[in-house]
Structure 1
Amino acid sequence: MSTVLIIGVGDMGERLAAGLAAEAGVRRLVLAGRSQATVAAAAAGIASSSDCLVEAVRLDAERVDDVAELLVRTAPDLVVQCAALRSPWALAGREDEVARGIIAAGLALRLPYQLPVVLAVMRAAQLAGYSGPVANLSFPDVTGPILRSQGLAPTLGLGNAGMVLRRVRAALRTAEPGAEPPLVRILGQHAQVFDVMQAREPADPEDRCRVYLDEDGRREDALAYRAPALEPGVRYNPVTAAAALPVLGALLPGAAPLRWSTPAPLGLPGGYPVRIANGSVALDLPPGLTVDQAVAFNERMGRGDGVERIDEDGTVHFTPACREAVADFAPDLAEPLAVGEMAARAARLDALLG
């Protein structure tokens, strides 16, 4: 019976906690977050609606020593990292020039909100000698390769490619009700998810997610865009949770193997088909697709989030379109961003956004 530590108990953290509490193999959940009231309320609700032991812990997850101490004390079998300094949805509905420009630039410009907590968690895992799996929800398609450059890559990411897989399966159920679903393998990047969720098929076939069916990897990319449309917003969260929970269950000790698609396995950019077994993750690419080809595709698609390239030391360079989006009010936001500059850039964002 397993212990799972969930860091960050916002809407997604609580959804994943509730799903894990229903897993037969989970005996104990440790919920950790900055707000004691929020964490305690989530823990009380989950404890009252499941047979799982639930512990609430106040934690500033940017404090590496505190996270390391919690890892040693709780000895989790799985760590689920859901925390960020600001939610990706935090600017939803804002119409001021600054917010519109930063949204148009792509999520990569907000890396200073997405990277620091997961970076601290991975440093804490190293400090504590924790060798179990870590699943990261915070912009994994881009934070994963940055962390890999530091020797700190989580086991895998959550959401994104798995959400596309869920959408494909929904389209298949509609097309063939009652039929046994085929094996679905997805190659795709976070920037492509919005078109998938809104059922907007890109005109250029090269810009579509790649969908591979059955063992032979038959291409059916259009299926990614055939499920009912969902406008961007927190309604995506149930789909994200449904994409993540099979992965988390498969990472538990003694779990059955799983073939799925996830972002950032082993710190790679974008999302890939994987096999999860015995707590380890391996790529599960279809016949004829090489790792180099898969990575090159996801790196190209990552430009939709504003990432031109990531250097070997983790420095992020932004695309011309990203730079143009903020050129009129804060061109410095799109200067190359090194890992050690995240705090200063976050402060700059805070000053602009309020």
Structure 2
Amino acid sequence: MSTVLIIGVGDVGQQLALGLAAGGRVRRLVLAGRSPAVVGETAAMVASASDCLVEPVRLDALRQDDVAELLDRTRPDVVVQCAALQGPWALAGRIGPRTQGVLAAGLGLRLPYQLPVILNVMKAVRDAGWTGPVANLSFPDVTGPVLQRLGLAPTLGLGNAGMVLLRARAALRAARPESDLSLIRVLAQHAQVLDVMQSRKPADPGDRCRIFLGEEGLRDDACAYRAPALAPGPRYNPVTVAAALPVLEALLPGGAPLRWSTPAPNGLPGGYPVRIADGSVALDLPPGLDLAEAVAFNERVGQGDGVERIDKDGTVHFTEACRAAVEAFAPDLAEPLAVDDLARRAARLDEVLAREG
């Protein structure tokens, strides 16, 4: 039986813990977070609802030595990184012009909230000499490629492309209940997920997710947009969890092989079809799709998140549309973002958003 370490016990972290415990293949869950009260209550809830051993740990994941020590002490089989300085729904419901400008710029502008914890976790993984799989939930389509430039890429990301897979499967199941839905392969970016979840099919076919059915990879891109519409918000979290749990169970020792779609396998930009077996992850591209084409597609549609390109040293450059969205009140927010400038840029974002009006 396996040990899983979950870093970050917000809503998704809690749901993942409950799902893993209920699945019966995890003997021990280590739940780590900054708030002793939240971690303790989550551990009590999971332990009460399952036969899993649950260990609550107070952890500031920005303290690299503390993360490395926790890895060394617990020796998990899989690490699940769910923490961020600010969640992606933190600005939901705020209507001020600065907030709206930051939202319009794309999630890439808020990379200073999403990157620091997973960056620190991966540094701790390196320092601890830990070689197991790391699954990252924090904006993996972009944080993965940044970390790949630094030699610190997690094994893969969670959500996003897997969510698109589930939406396509739901639409196909409703239309053709007798269909074989055993293999759906998805090429998609985080920037496309909102349209998929709201059933808004882009007018330009080139901007749609690519959906490949069966071994032969028959294209049915439109099926990603045919499931019932779901308005944005934390209600997406159960879909994120449903997309993540099969991946995590496949990564466990002795896990059954899985063909799925995930963000950022080995630090690639965007999401791809993968095969997971024996704790390793390999691409599972359909016939006729080569890696260069797949990467180019994800880099192009990923500009919808405001990211134009990522340099070899991990510096992120933002798109013209992103820069235009904040030009009137904080143009410096869209200047190129270096990895060693994350703390200062996060503080600047805090300042700008606090001065709403």
Give me the TM-score of the superposition, normalised by structure 2.
0.98
Q: Give the corresponding residue for 1:19.
A: 19
5+ unaligned residues in a row in structure 2: which ranges? Answer: none
Q: 2:78 aligned with 1:85, yes or no?
A: no
Q: Give the corresponding residue for 1:128.
A: 128
3-state SS, counterpart of residue 45 of structure 2: helix
Structure 1 Cα separation of the partners of residues 22 and 45 of structure 2 = 13
Q: 2:190 aligned with 1:190, yes or no?
A: yes
Q: Give the corresponding residue for 1:52.
A: 52
Structure 2 Cα separation of the partners of residues 69 and 116 of structure 1 = 18
Structure 1 Cα separation of the partners of residues 284 and 258 of structure 2 = 11
Large movers: runs of 4+ above 4 Å: none
For residue 178 of structure 1, report the CA deviation from its aligned partner: 4.2
TM-superposition CA deviations, 1:82-123 (whole Å, max 9, x none): 000000100000011110000000000000000000000000
Structure 2 Cα separation of the partners of residues 11 and 178 of structure 1 = 35
3-state SS, counterpart of residue 349 of structure 1: helix
TM-superposition CA deviations, 1:191-223 (whole Å, max 9, x none): 000000000000000000000000011000000
Q: Give the corresponding residue for 2:162.
A: 162
Structure 1 Cα separation of the partners of residues 181 and 287 of structure 2 = 19
3-state SS, counterpart of residue 23 of structure 2: coil
Letter of the structure 2 residue corresponding to residue 14 of structure 1: Q
Q: 2:150 aligned with 1:153, yes or no?
A: no
Figure out how many residues of one structure are paired with residues of the other and give that number.
354
Q: Give the corresponding residue for 1:351.
A: 351
Letter of the structure 2 residue corresponding to residue 279 of structure 1: G
Structure 1 Cα separation of the partners of residues 94 and 185 of structure 2 = 36
Q: Give the corresponding residue for 1:281.
A: 281
Structure 2 Cα separation of the partners of residues 182 and 144 of structure 1 = 28
Structure 2 Cα separation of the partners of residues 33 and 196 of structure 1 = 31
5+ unaligned residues in a row in structure 1: which ranges? Answer: none
3-state SS, counterpart of residue 57 of structure 1: strand
Structure 1 Cα separation of the partners of residues 155 and 50 of structure 2 = 28
For residue 22 of structure 1, report the CA deviation from its aligned partner: 1.5
3-state SS, counterpart of residue 194 of structure 1: helix
TM-superposition CA deviations, 1:12-51 (whole Å, max 9, x none): 0001011111122210000000111001011000000000
Letter of the structure 1 residue corresponding to residue 90 of structure 2: A
3-state SS, counterpart of residue 154 of structure 1: coil
Q: Give the corresponding residue for 1:303.
A: 303
Cα root mean square deviation, aligned:
0.6
Structure 2 Cα separation of the partners of residues 91 and 301 of structure 1 = 23
3-state SS, counterpart of residue 3 of structure 1: strand
For residue 230 of structure 1, report the CA deviation from its aligned partner: 0.3
Structure 1 Cα separation of the partners of residues 288 and 229 of structure 2 = 32
Letter of the structure 2 residue corresponding to residue 20 of structure 1: L
Map 1:61-140; keep pairs closer than 5 Å.
Answer: 61-140=61-140
Letter of the structure 2 residue corresponding to residue 210 of structure 1: R
Structure 2 Cα separation of the partners of residues 51 and 182 of structure 1 = 31
Letter of the structure 2 residue corresponding to residue 57 of structure 1: V
Give me the TM-score of the superposition, normalised by structure 1.
0.99
Structure 2 Cα separation of the partners of residues 180 and 273 of structure 1 = 18
Letter of the structure 2 residue corresponding to residue 164 of structure 1: V
Q: Give the corresponding residue for 1:231.
A: 231
3-state SS, counterpart of residue 235 of structure 1: helix
Structure 2 Cα separation of the partners of residues 264 and 177 of structure 1 = 31
Q: 2:270 aligned with 1:270, yes or no?
A: yes
